[in-house]
Chains A and B, each alone.
Chain A
Amino acid sequence: MSRKNTVRATQGAEGYTVVGTRPPRVDAPDKVAGHAIYGPDVALPRMAYGKILRSPHAHARIRSIDTRQAEAMPGVYAVVTAKDLSEVADRIGRVGESSVNFKFLCDNNLASDKVLYMGHAVAAVAASSPHVAEDALKLIKVDYEPLPPVTDVLEATREGAPLLHEGMLTKSLGGLGERPSNIASHIQHLKGDPAQGFAEAEVIVEREFRTATVHQGYLEPHAATADWSPDGFLTLYTTTHGSFDARAQVAEPLDCPLSKIRVIPTEVGGAFGGKNISYVDVAAALLARKAGRPVKVTMSRAEVLLASGPTSGSVMHLKIGAKRDGRLTAAKAELFYEAGAYPGSPVGSGAYCIFACYEIPHGQIDGYDVVVNKPKTGPLRAPGATQTAFAMETLLDELAEKLGMDPIELRLRNVAHEGTLLITGNRHYSIGAEEVLRATYNHPHYQAPLGGPHRGRGVAFAYWGNWGARSSAILNVNDDGTLALVTGSVDITGTRTSLAMQAAEVLGLPLTRIRSAVGDTDAMGHSDTTGGSRTTMATGIAVVEAANDVIAQMKGRAAQLWGLSAEKVTYKRGVFRASTPGGMQEMSFAELAGQVSATGGPVRGKSDVNIRKWGGAFGAHIVDVEVDPETGKVRILRYTAVQDVGRAIHPGQIEGQIQGAVAQGIGWALYEGYAYDAQGQMLNANFLDYKIPTMLDVPPIEAVIVEVPWPEHPFGVRGVGEVPIVPPPAAIANAIYRATGTRLAELPMTPERILQGMGVI
Chain B
Amino acid sequence: MTDRVRVSAIINGEPVEFLCEPRQSLLECLRDILGLTGAKEGCNDGNCGACSVLLNGRLVHSCLVLGVEIQGQEVTTIEGLAHWDGLSLLQEAFVAEDALQCGYCTPGMIIAAKALLDREPNPSEERIRSWLAGNLCRCTGYDRIVRAVRSAATALAKSREEVSR
Contacts and interface: CB of A to CB of B under 8 A. Distances in A.
Contact of A34 (B79, B128, B135, B142): B79
B44 A300 contact: yes
A683 to B, nearest CB: 15
Contacts of B95: 24-25, 28-29, 32
A534 to B, nearest CB: 18
12 contacts: A32-B107, A34-B107, A35-B79, A129-B32, A130-B32, A269-B103, A270-B101, A659-B140, A694-B134, A695-B135, A699-B143, A700-B143
B78 A34 contact: yes
Nearest to B24: A131
- Closest CB pairs A-B (n = 8): A34-B38, A269-B104, A31-B103, A659-B141, A34-B78, A687-B47, A663-B141, A41-B37
Contacts of A657: 101
Contact of B43 (A24, A268, A660, A686): A686
Q: Which of B42, B103, B137 has the most CB of A within 10 A?
A: B103
A29 B87 contact: yes
A230 interface: no
Contacts of B104: 38, 218-220, 269-270
Given A129-B21, A220-B104, A656-B101, A33 B87 contact: yes
Contacts of A298: 41
Contact of B143 (A24, A34, A652, A701): A701
A34 B37 contact: yes
Contact of B39 (A25, A34, A43, A686): A34
Interface of A is mostly: loop
B145 interface: yes
Contacts of A41: 31, 37
B35 interface: yes
A138 B158 CA distance: 57
Interface string B121-160: 0000000111011111111111111100000000000000
Contacts of B143: 659, 698-701
A695 B100 contact: no
Interface residues of A, number: 63
A694 B103 CA distance: 16
B44 A301 contact: yes
B62 interface: no
Contacts of A13: none
A75 to B, nearest CB: 6
B78 A22 contact: no
Interface string B37-54: 111111111011010000
A74 interface: yes
A272 B45 CA distance: 23
A621 to B, nearest CB: 13
Contact of A698 (B47, B100, B141): B141
Contacts of A664: 138
Given A35-B38, A269-B40, A662-B141, A696 B102 contact: no
Interface string A181-224: 00000000000000000000000000000000000111111000
A219 B101 contact: no
B96 interface: yes
A36 B101 CA distance: 12
Contacts of A267: 102-103
Contact of A301 (B43, B81, B102, B144): B43
Given A217-B138, A270-B138, A132 B1 contact: yes
A219 B87 contact: no
B87 A32 contact: yes
Nearest to A662: B141
A40 to B, nearest CB: 6
B40 A38 contact: yes
Given A32-B91, A34-B79, A267-B103, A656 B140 contact: yes
A32 B91 CA distance: 6
Interface string B76-101: 01110110000100011011101011
A158 B95 CA distance: 54
Contacts of B105: 219
With a 10 A CB-CB cut-off, give which of A33, A34, A298, A653 has the most chain B CB atoms.
A34
A493 interface: yes
Contacts of A22: 98
A483 to B, nearest CB: 22
A29 B81 CA distance: 12
B136 A687 contact: yes
B1 A219 contact: no
A696 B132 CA distance: 9
B133 A219 contact: no
A269 B104 CA distance: 5
A37 interface: yes
A33 B91 contact: yes
A695 B94 contact: no
A653 B141 contact: no
B6 interface: no
Contacts of B136: 219, 687, 692, 694
Interface in A684-720: 686-688, 692, 694-696, 698-701
A272 B103 CA distance: 14
A298 B31 CA distance: 13
B75 interface: no
Given A25-B98, A218-B104, A687-B48, 7 more contacts: A27-B103, A28-B94, A130-B28, A219-B48, A656-B101, A656-B144, A657-B101
A494 interface: yes
Nearest to B37: A41
Contacts of B45: 301, 686-688
A297 to B, nearest CB: 14
Interface in A628-643: none
Nearest to A24: B95
B44 A31 contact: no
B31 to A, nearest CB: 7
A695 B21 contact: no
Contacts of B140: 656, 659-660, 663
B133 to A, nearest CB: 5
B110 interface: yes
B82 to A, nearest CB: 5
Nearest to A301: B43
A648 to B, nearest CB: 14
Interface string A216-240: 1111110000000000000000000
A301 B48 CA distance: 10
B58 interface: no
B94 A219 contact: no
A270 B139 contact: yes
Q: Choose among B38, B48, B50, B142 the residue with the greatest number of A CB atoms under 10 Å from its CB.
A: B142
B61 to A, nearest CB: 12
Contacts of A701: 141, 143
B149 to A, nearest CB: 10
Given A269-B102, A687-B45, A219 B138 contact: yes
A24 B96 contact: yes
Contacts of B129: 695-696
Contacts of B21: 129, 131
B14 to A, nearest CB: 16
Contacts of B44: 300-301
Nearest to B132: A695
